[in-house]
């Protein structure tokens, strides 16, 4: 579930507001999105993947955390934008698709005789 928006990092691009499939965010008056409907979050990580400045943290749980995370803790644990980094989105990163060596085509094509 989405847990944190960093006002320090956010540049107000509104990408997270636009890509969220369940309309969790509202545009904040200061440009920083608010978690207006956190309970509607589907833990899909799309917002975190799209945020260009690693300002978001989606926890890998369907329920909200008991205690809201603090920015310092998230930075220390390298969790802000960690999913975006994992899938290789962002300048200079290697995408999962580039790393994938699964021979899908070989598996689905009929075997030659």
**Three-state SS for 30?**
coil
Among positions 29-48, residues that touch ligand SF4 (CB under 6 A) are 33, 41-47
Q: Decide: residue 84, CB within 10 A, 0-12 exposed, 13-18 middle, 19+ buried.
A: buried
Applying CB under 6 A, among 3, 4, 8, 12 the residue interacting with ligand SF4 is 12
DSSP class of 39: G
**Phi and psi for 23 in degrees, rounded to 5?**
60, 45
Applying CB under 6 A, among 3, 4, 55, 83 the residue interacting with ligand SF4 is 55
Place of tokens 């928006």: 5
Applying CB under 6 A, among 4, 51, 57, 83 the residue interacting with ligand SF4 is 51
Residue 80 as a binder of ligand SF4 (CB under 6 A): the answer is no
| Interface residue list for ligand SF4 (CB under 6 A) | 2, 5, 10-16, 19-22, 24, 33, 41-47, 50-51, 53, 55-56, 58
């Amino acid at each position: 579930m989405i847990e944190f928006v960093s006002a320090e990092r956010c540049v107000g691009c509104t990408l997270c507001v636009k890509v969220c499939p369940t309309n969790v965010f509202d545009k904040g008056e200061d440009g920083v999105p608010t978690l207006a409907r956190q309970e509607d979050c589907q833990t899909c990580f799309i917002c975190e993947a799209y945020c260009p400045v690693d300002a978001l943290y989606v926890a890998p749980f369907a329920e909200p955390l008991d205690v809201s995370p603090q920015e310092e803790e998230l930075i220390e644990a390298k969790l802000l934008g960690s999913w975006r980094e994992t899938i290789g989105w962002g300048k200079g990163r290697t995408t999962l698709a580039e790393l994938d060596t699964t021979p899908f085509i070989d598996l689905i094509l009929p075997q030659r005789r």
